[in-house]
Structure formats: C-alpha cells, structure tokens
Amino acid sequence: MSDETGKPKTLTETMATFGRAAAERQTAMLSDVTRMFTEMRFPTMMPDGNILLAAHRRNMDALSQANRLALEGAQAVARRHMEIMQQSMTELTDHVRELASSETPQTKAARQAELVKRSYEHAVANIRELSDLIQRSNGEALALLDKRFKEAMDEIKDLLEKPPER
C-alpha cells in the first residue's frame, strides 16, 4: 500500500486508514438503518390503554356478579337445608311418639315400614330440591361468565380487525 506520493505506508498508517474507512462505513450503515426505521410506520399493536382498562372493569364486574350469584345460591341452599333438617327432626319426634303407643307388634312393624317408606320419599324429594337449587345457582353464575367471555372475544376480534392508526 502506498500514499498519494507513491511511498509505501507503514503498518500503523495502513491500519489507521483501514480503521477510519471501516468506522465511516459503519456510521453510514447505522445512519441508513436509523433513517429506514424512522421512515417506517409500524401498526399500533397495543390498543388504547383506556380500552383495555374498560374491558378489565367489565371482566371484574362480571366475575363479581357471578360470585354474588354463587354466594346467594349457597346461602339459599344452606337455608333450605336447615329447614329440611328442622322438618326432619319434627317428623322424627312425631314418629317416635307414634311408635311408642301400645299397639300389637304386627301393627307397630307395619307402621314402622310405612314411616321408613315415607321418610325415604321425603329424603329423595329434599335431595332433588337441593340439587335443583344448586344447579340453578351455578347455571346462573356460569351463564353470566359465559356471556362476558363471548363479549370479550368479540371485543378482541373487533380490536384486531380495526385498521391500525397511523
């Protein structure tokens, strides 16, 4: 390598020249890349924060309402269960009095069989009633959450289909 006069350059001079040229090329490339990025318009992928906050509030409201429905349902089941227990205890007391009367053993056995049959029928009816209460309560809460989930999916779809702001 030689300079403009044709004299050979020293290794240090050659390396310095090479380094300056490389630095100039890197600076030019970085400048080009920076210019390209500043000129590009990227679509806004993140929706407005207010939209997200509003959706989150609607989700929390739906969850709150579902929890309230579930709690009210559980309270109704507990109240009805207590009523059934009180009714059962009253019936049991009445049955014990009936069986304590002085009747023949055959009559007592027949009466006991009838009381057991009636008690079983009441128990089955009570279990069905409690089961229906639980199902209705859970169904209402689940329907509310299902409705909100579908709305949220529609909101997301609308956001994704919305043309990007520039």
Token pair for residue 58? 């609607």
pLDDT tens digits, residue range 81-130?
999 999 999 988 888 887 787 678 888 888 888 888 998 999 999 999 99
pLDDT tens digits, residue range 12-56?
777 677 677 777 887 887 777 777 767 765 555 556 678 878 888
The residues, any chain, with a CB within 8 Å of residue 47's CB and separated by 6 or more, are 159
Name the DSSP class of 5.
T
Cα separation, 102 vs 8, in Å, equals 137
Cα separation, 32 vs 26, in Å, equals 10
